Amino acid sequence: MERLDKLLAGTGKWSRREVKAWVRQGLVRVDGRLAASAEDKLDPAAAIITVAGETISLCRFTYVMLHKPAGVLTATEDRKQPTVLDLLPPELRRIGLAPVGRLDKDTEGLLLLTNDGELAHRLLSPKYHVDKRYFARVDGELSAADTEAFARGMTLGDGLECLPAGLELLPGHACIVTLREGKFHQVKRMLAARGAPVLYLKRLSMGPLTLDDSLAAGAYRLLRAEEILALYRACGL
């Protein structure tokens, strides 16, 4: 059993103070009855709560797809530069969301944010074989020899060991890179090691989750139930 104000504040839509105000105004109902107090305790798995006539989901975790633009840090806070959390509304910024993995400041594309720590851990762990796909434009020529080098796995000049990865060559000095890990600047470092420095980089997908084409850079949406389920299945949950 949990307090009503805690449950509603946990959705990220309101603070506890706001919830108490809604209760006093008679805007909150539990199982069809007016809530008597914001401190009422109830079973979140069974209770049906409405606020101003809207049924409120009490899902334990939140999952957000963000089309990260260039120029924004993949961080939860920074005193000097904008972060990916700054692109979200206040109700989503105060529920403990964190980026799953990191995209460089100048990298665009799919970024998942969630407060589901176990899912985040598994999506990033090479143990669970969740592929991350990137589109890159490079300054240089790539060949079948580079594809083979990626497939074998690479040890870079600074000693960084990279697991086998996919490299699909595209026309116009472009390629698709597929990784099962996410080491610091890995895509850029692997391509630079093959004589093809990255000019532009965009993450396209993470496992079964693909960037929504309708999302402009800087836009976001909540994941659909089937997308969440697919992520869980992809990493054995």
pLDDT tens sequence across 149-186: 999 999 998 888 999 999 999 999 999 999 988 888 99
Q: Are residues 93 and 28 in the same domain?
A: no
The pair phi, psi for residue 154, each rounded to 5°, is -130, 145
Is residue 45's pLDDT more than 70?
no
- Name the pLDDT band for 96 (thresholds 50, 70, 90): confident
Q: Are residues 122 and 230 in the same domain?
A: yes
pTM: 0.78
Q: Within 10 Å of residue 171's Cβ, how many Cβ atoms?
A: 5
Q: Are residues 150 and 198 in the same domain?
A: yes
CATH number for 8: 3.10.290.10
Q: Are residues 95 and 47 in the same domain?
A: no
Q: Are residues 114 and 172 in the same domain?
A: no
Q: Which domain holds residue 17?
A: 2-55
pLDDT tens sequence across 101-129: 999 999 999 999 999 999 999 999 888 88
Q: Within 10 Å of residue 86's Cβ, how many Cβ atoms?
A: 14
Q: Select which of 5, 40, 86, 104 is catalytic.
A: 104
If 0-12 CB within 10 Å is exposed, 13-18 middle and 19+ buried, where does residue 213 land? exposed
Q: Are residues 113 and 218 in the same domain?
A: yes
Q: Are residues 198 and 146 in the same domain?
A: yes
CATH number for 176: 3.30.70.1560
CATH number for 92: 3.30.70.580
Q: Are residues 142 and 183 in the same domain?
A: yes
Q: Are residues 67 and 49 in the same domain?
A: no
pLDDT tens sequence across 174-231: 999 999 888 889 999 999 999 999 999 999 999 999 999 999 999 999 888 899 999 9
pLDDT tens sequence across 81-91: 999 999 998 87
Q: Are residues 231 and 217 in the same domain?
A: yes
The pair phi, psi for residue 30, each rounded to 5°, is -120, 120
Is 104 in the active site?
yes
Q: Name the domain count of the chain.
A: 3
